[in-house]
A and B are shown apart, each in its own frame.
Chain A
């Protein structure tokens, strides 16, 4: 497929930034709508107006914060991939911690460390969820494990017959 033939990395940043912005706007919109509804005076028209007002003012701000978080995370992630040369869950956790630290830079070193820990832990949890999902959805498709021969690219030791590739997951 065309999109898999190219390197994901610099374009992933734009992808993640946009995705995070959308998440922030939709999630923030829902939360602010409910909050605006609740904090408005009695009467359905006041409430709807308060709700719409709260969404109009706050949802783009929340979307913007999410976009900054997502874009910075993805940038640091791509940077780490480039430096280390391999793609790992460690990259994500470190990127999360560094993003947390950078975004709290105005509040001093102690806040930066706390923020870094939170970012790292958040990303470790997200990675855990990702790993769980990948493993368990892949396991659904696995049939009974066959008796696996050694791959036929290796020189055969005693002339064992070459077998086709087992299914990976």
Chain B
């Protein structure tokens, strides 16, 4: 009995030592597949091979190299989990073991599905924001193009004219404020952003409205200048 355990301990030690070399191959593959790795660790990996992707993914390294070995060694390694009489050379896995493994696989599957659905949802949001023609960002882009092409705006503000939205805490001004409302059965989007030119001290607020039916029609676009007295430059007025 005792020499059995001693041999098992010896085998696990040998496997542990030889696993150091095999760890590099699976972890490089895992790293390329893993999108959620912190960027710092990713860059660090090229120089230092001590990162442990296993801990990040939640799968212990022991599980990684266990699967890389042959079934005999895997069994000898998992001798701690299975009872001793499996050492007699049985190749069948007991049903308790099967149920445990199936449970583990199922849990991993659930985690993977949750992760994929969250990532998919985020991608959908970002695609809708960037590529759909009725997103506030697109309307802001088109209105800014029209403002830049307008001669009165150029004469007041000076070239080049730059546009930005609301200031958030971190100092990034990407969020354009907007309202969606329904009028006469049509959805309208109203957008407000700021422009600034190379003339110092001149800032303007641009209001634009776009019905969701047409891609390139604007109901109105006008620029509100912050000068005193207030001046309004009307760029487009298509209210029927």
Contact surface of A with B, Cβ cutoff 8 Å: 4, 8, 11-12, 15-16, 19, 24, 27-28, 31, 34-35, 61-63, 65-66, 68-69, 81, 85-92, 103-104, 106-107, 114, 118-119, 121-122, 124-125, 127-129, 131-132, 134, 145, 147-148, 150-151, 153-155, 157, 166-169
Nearest A residue to B233 via CB reads A153
Task: From the candidates A12, A88, A153, name the one contacting B224 in the complex (CB within 8 A).
Answer: A153
Are the C-beta atoms of B163 and A87 separated by less than 8 Å? yes
Query: Does B126 lie within 8 Å of A128, measured CB to CB?
Result: yes
Residues on the A chain within 8 Å of B165, using CB: 87
Cβ of B35 and Cβ of A122 under 8 Å apart? Answer: yes
Cβ of B86 under 8 Å from chain A: no
Tell me which of B9-17, B77-85, B172-180 binds A: B172-180
In the complex where A69-B39, A145-B181 touch, is A35 in contact with B52 (Cβ < 8 A)? Answer: yes
The answer on a CB contact under 8 Å between A88 and B137 is: yes
B199-240 contact mask (Cβ, 8 Å, vs A): 1 or 0: 000000001000000000000101010000000101001010
Please state if A86 and B179 are interface contacts (CB–CB under 8 Å).
no
In the docked arrangement, what's the CA distance between A166 and B180, Å? 11
User: Do A148 and B190 touch across chains, with their CB atoms under 8 A apart?
Assistant: yes
Q: List 25 A-B contacts (CB under 8 A).
A: A34-B55, A65-B40, A65-B41, A81-B162, A86-B144, A87-B164, A89-B137, A90-B130, A91-B174, A104-B46, A125-B119, A125-B123, A125-B126, A128-B126, A131-B125, A131-B129, A132-B125, A145-B180, A148-B179, A148-B183, A154-B220, A154-B234, A157-B239, A168-B179, A169-B179
Q: Is B171 an interface residue (CB 8 A)?
A: yes
Task: Please measure, in the bound complex, the distance between the C-alpha atom of A128 and the C-alpha atom of B178, giving whole angstroms.
Answer: 17
Q: Which single member of B130, B171, B207 contacts A8 (CB below 8 Å)?
A: B171
**A106 with B220: CB separation less than 8 A:** no
Chain A residue at smallest Cβ distance from B197: A85
With CB as the reference atom, state the residue of chain A lying closest to B224. Answer: A153
Q: Given known contacts A114-B32, A145-B180, what 6 new A-B pairs fall within 8 Å (CB)?
A: A8-B171, A8-B173, A85-B161, A88-B174, A119-B39, A128-B126
B173 to chain A, nearest CB (A): 5
CB A167 to nearest CB in B, in angstroms, measures 8
- Among the interface residues A8, A88, A157, which one has the most CB atoms of the partner chain B within 10 A? A88
Residue B103, interface by CB 8 Å: no
Count chain A CB atoms within 10 A of each CB in B126, B162, B167, B222 and give the residue with the most: B126
**Top 5 closest A-B pairs, CB basis?**
A65-B40, A128-B122, A8-B171, A85-B162, A128-B126
State in angstroms the CA–CA spacing of A134 and B178 once bound together.
12
| A residues near B43, Cβ cutoff 8 Å | 65, 68-69, 103-104
CA distance A107 to B31 in the complex (A): 16
CA–CA, A8 and B183, complex, Å: 38
Q: Is the CB of B122 within 8 A of A129?
A: yes
CA distance A124 to B130 in the complex (A): 10
Q: Name which residue of chain B comes closest to A121, CB basis.
A: B35
CB neighbours (8 Å) of B222 from chain A are 151, 153-154
Least distance between A137 CB and chain B CB atoms (Å): 11
Partner of A89, one of B122, B160, B164, B174: B174
- Bound Cα distance from A148 to B178, whole angstroms: 13
Residues on B with C-beta less than 8 A from A81 are 162
Q: How far is the CB of A115 from the nearest CB of chain B, in Å?
A: 8
Q: Is A134 a contact of B175 with CB atoms below 8 Å?
A: yes
CB distance from A109 to the nearest CB of B (A): 15
Q: B26 on the interface (CB 8 Å rule)?
A: no
User: Of B55, B126, B237, which is within 8 A of A127 by CB?
Assistant: B126
Closest-by-CB residue of B relative to A68 is B43
Residues of chain B within 8 A of A168, CB atoms compared: 177-179, 190, 192
